[in-house]
């Protein structure tokens, strides 16, 4: 069936007398003005679609202190990864020239050579400079600081992962189940809070020395029982703060309607926690983990300083600072290098943690 459209003398479709449509023939161009740029921008109500993580990272990179911390940590990571590839010395190597032990290479200043090394260079040989000098055992101090930084960072990362896993599981179960289960689990946390961590580390070190037997030359043997006991203590004691934070978040999140909807359709408890609750605790998890790393590094450095850290000759920043303490009057610069590295790492992680809190915490967003 063909429909015929009725038009007026100008060719425009005729408007029905009962229509509310505007009759454009009665208006001219002088009655309308183009919208300004400000009026157009008022129409842009919806922002660009993004995710929680992308939005948080965008806010993080606007924080100059956080960006500076990321740059410093990246430079330190690149240094400890690639420096051993170019420096020909090992952290336990006692300096020698042509197979002869160089007894004169003791407590050398930075970028200096011993008499035996100078004779070797004058004879046409090449010798890599001692950037930080040498220690009292005639070992290159730069490579020992590099490996000490490696050990401290590895301890910090692994301790944070242990704290994150145990604290997240424990806090999730306690906060979600609630009631008597939460009461009992939180009392266990209170008991653990009261335990002296230093005393437990000492006791574990003494006990594990007689129980643990490692393959000679292995990585665990180089770390020693003191460092293994440190990891165990982190797994036993230091997760309680993370567990309390996650429990508090879950107690408020589980009252929301979408949790009730998930329960009503028969979703299992594990799925509700992993898919609906923990993603909403992501900001607390990221911030707490970032702040736990410098705390673990400082604890390891302190324990190594008092002799409860890694086993010699494996260095750590704390053990290097302890060994340099005896020569403060003659070689005070040796304490500067490990102490400066500890300060840079701890300060950078603390500033990065503050930046993550400002970027990911919904309560601090404008």
Domain spans of the chain, in order of start: 52-83+146-364, 94-139
Q: Do you find a cis peptide bond into 313, omega within 30 degrees of 0?
A: yes
Q: What is the number of helices (H) and of strands (E) in the chain? A: 14, 2
Q: Contact, 304 vs 317, CB < 8 A?
A: yes
Per-residue pLDDT tens over the stretch 6-55: 666 666 666 666 555 565 555 555 555 676 777 666 655 545 666 767 88
Cβ contacts of 88 within 8 Å, gap of 6 or more:
128
Distance CA 139, CA 167 (A): 41
Per-block mean pLDDT, blocks of 10 residues, the chain (366 long): 61 62 57 67 58 80 92 94 92 87 88 90 89 91 93 86 89 88 91 82 73 72 72 81 88 85 85 82 81 83 78 83 80 88 90 85 60
Q: Is 205 exposed, middle or buried (0-12, 13-18, 19+ CB in 10 A)?
A: buried
pTM of the model: 0.78
Helix/strand/coil for 113: coil
Q: What is the pLDDT of residue 54?
A: 81
Per-residue pLDDT tens over the stretch 308-353: 777 777 888 888 888 888 777 778 888 899 999 999 998 999 899 8
Distance CA 192, CA 179 (A): 20
Q: What is the pLDDT of residue 124?
A: 86
Cβ contacts of 225 within 8 Å, gap of 6 or more:
205, 208, 209, 212, 311
Q: What is the pLDDT of residue 71?
A: 95
Distance CA 128, CA 84 (A): 12
52-83+146-364 classified as CATH 1.10.3720.10? yes
Residues facing residue 96 across a β-bridge: 101
Tokens (6 digits) for 21: 């449509």
Cβ contacts of 112 within 8 Å, gap of 6 or more:
130, 133
Tokens (6 digits) for 140: 């290159």
Q: What is the pLDDT of residue 33?
A: 67
Q: What is the pLDDT of residue 211?
A: 77
Tokens (6 digits) for 168: 């997240």
Q: What is the pLDDT of residue 271?
A: 85
Q: Contact, 323 vs 135, CB < 8 A?
A: yes
Residue at token pair 């704390």: 318
Q: What is the pLDDT of residue 98?
A: 83
């Amino acid at each position: 069936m063909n429909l015929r459209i009725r038009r007026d003398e100008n060719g425009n479709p005729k408007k029905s007398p009962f229509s509310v449509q505007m009759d454009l023939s009665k208006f001219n161009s002088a009655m309308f003005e183009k919208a300004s740029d400000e009026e157009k921008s008022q129409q842009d109500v919806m922002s660009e679609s993004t995710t929680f993580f992308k939005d948080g990272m965008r806010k993080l990179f606007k924080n100059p202190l956080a960006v500076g911390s990321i740059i410093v940590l990246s430079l330190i990571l690149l240094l400890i990864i690639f420096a051993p590839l170019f420096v020909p010395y090992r952290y336990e190597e006692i300096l020698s020239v042509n197979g002869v032990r160089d007894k004169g290479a003791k407590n050398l200043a930075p970028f200096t050579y011993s008499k035996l090394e100078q004779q070797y260079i004058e004879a046409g040989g090449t010798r890599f400079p001692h950037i930080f000098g040498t220690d009292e055992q005639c070992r290159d101090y730069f490579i020992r600081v590099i490996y000490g930084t490696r050990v401290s960072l590895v301890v910090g990362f692994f301790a944070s992962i242990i704290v994150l896993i145990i604290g997240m599981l424990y806090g999730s179960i306690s906060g979600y189940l609630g009631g008597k289960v939460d009461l009992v689990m939180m009392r266990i946390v209170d008991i653990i809070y009261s335990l002296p961590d230093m005393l437990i580390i000492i006791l574990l070190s003494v006990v594990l020395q007689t129980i643990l037997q490692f393959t000679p030359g292995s990585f665990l043997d180089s770390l020693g029982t003191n460092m293994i006991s440190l990891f165990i203590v982190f797994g036993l004691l230091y997760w309680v703060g993370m567990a309390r934070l996650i429990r508090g978040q879950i107690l408020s999140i589980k009252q929301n309607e979408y949790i009730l909807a998930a329960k009503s359709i028969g979703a299992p408890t594990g799925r509700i926690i992993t898919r609906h609750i923990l993603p909403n605790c992501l900001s607390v998890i990221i911030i707490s983990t970032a702040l736990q790393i410098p705390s673990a590094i400082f604890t390891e450095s302190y324990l190594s300083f008092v002799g409860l850290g890694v086993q010699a000759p494996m260095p750590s920043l704390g053990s290097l600072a302890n060994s340099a303490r005896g020569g403060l009057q003659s070689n005070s610069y040796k304490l500067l290098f490990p102490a400066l590295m500890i300060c840079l790492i701890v300060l950078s992680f603390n500033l990065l943690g503050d930046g993550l809190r400002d970027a990911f915490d919904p309560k601090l967003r404008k």
